[in-house]
Structure 1
């Protein structure tokens, strides 16, 4: 046990699950050893234990992948979240009106995680999949989570965990400039990404507050908007903020 709280074997097991989750194909024991830096004997023991609980599965060729039990637990978690059911019609309307991909995101592990998304009609699907993780400092949903942190110290803690790097020439990596951007986000009540994560893509995110009044989710739209001052982007901003406020009200009523 480390620091009186951290159980090393559990921490190592979580590392293996994350590696299997990040991989698009099953991994052999040797590959898990290389990626994790853990001894092969430790990995084998942890995988054997997790396999008994169906957290991991071993294929005929000996490689490992995530198990069915994790899917069942994920479904149970999803079913316990009122927000996905509440937000679904708003995501559909936001996408239908703007022609962009609408998304709902949550802060997890120092990154913005997509909980749900909607792409009505044809065209380019921007968000690749539910569950994808995105950096905080260069996405609208991420900047929203940073801006609404409880303190500047918490903002710095999250940024230290995932230091800013340039994804495009527009990525804000200079600390002073980024903090000024976060103050602007908090003041205006929504966040904008202007080609900072992917060239040509622009997005807007608005805060969804929980029953206690704190920020819990980000509702937004991402697409090939011409510029952030274009009428279609202004419309997306207005709808995102309006719909986020309505979802917040519904979540409070359900509590």
Structure 2
């Protein structure tokens, strides 16, 4: 079934109600029926009826000035989504759908204090020095997945988090302090992909990108790992492209507002 046929099967009233909820939830100010009518190009009487129904269902709340805010019933759906969506399961499903580059290990890790804890992995068939296992952890300041998550925090918060307790290096390539970390993050934010080359395991390059949740906050990070000599030049660009695609698709499944 193509997209046009799928769109023809939408129920108009439901589609219009969803559009109103999207507008109310994303607006930086409170909207009236007249403003919603202009935004949706729907008759004012139609919008009035839809808003009234949404208020009765607890999906909108009408304020005293006759504007609207999102209602408490939406939280039930949000909580249900959180309960029913397993990021590790979705990661495994996506690994079946996406072609993972040869000799790379795909992994998923979540932040815990100043560590990244691995919760799922798809191992390369052969030729990789990085064996990701659930429960394994690395300091966030060294591993690419940790840098991906840390990059979403302001520098002053990162500096405060590691003040006086920067971890001991894992290899001779591990960064030596918070100033070096912040310099790496500044450069990586511009590039958009996060790396560590031999900082956790000698001879292993890790490439990572953050996974966001339904409120666009960092939930986890996807990482691809491979022998450093196999991911240089165009090969590194390919791995970077795959990790961004995998992370964004996983973020989308977690309810984040991202392009896939």
TM-score (structure 2 length as normaliser) = 0.60
Q: Which runs of 5+ in 2 are unaligned?
A: 1-82
Which residue in 2 is equivalent to 1:201? 204
Structure 1 residue ranges (4+ consecutive) displaced by more than 6 angstroms after TM superposition: none
Distance 1:164 1:94, change over 3 A: farther
TM-score (structure 1 length as normaliser) = 0.61
Distance 1:167 1:95, change over 3 A: farther
Which residue in 1 is equivalent to 2:136? 132
Q: Does 1:160 align with 2:176?
A: no
Distance between the aligned counterparts of 1:232 and 1:180, measured in 2? 25
Structure showing greater radius of gyration is 2
Contact 2:223 2:243 in 1 (8 A): yes
Which residue in 1 is equivalent to 2:109? 105
Spell out the pairing of 1:137-152 with structure 2 (5 A cutoff): 137-149=141-153, 151-152=154-155
Contact 1:105 1:113 in 2 (8 A): yes
RMSD: 2.6
Aligned length: 176
Q: Which runs of 5+ in 1 are unaligned?
A: 1-78
Bigger drift between 169-178 and 200-209 goes to 169-178
Distance between the aligned counterparts of 2:218 and 2:256, measured in 1? 16
Distance between the aligned counterparts of 1:252 and 1:167, measured in 2? 35
Contact 2:105 2:132 in 1 (8 A): no
What is the CA-CA distance between 1:88 and the residue it aligns to? 0.8
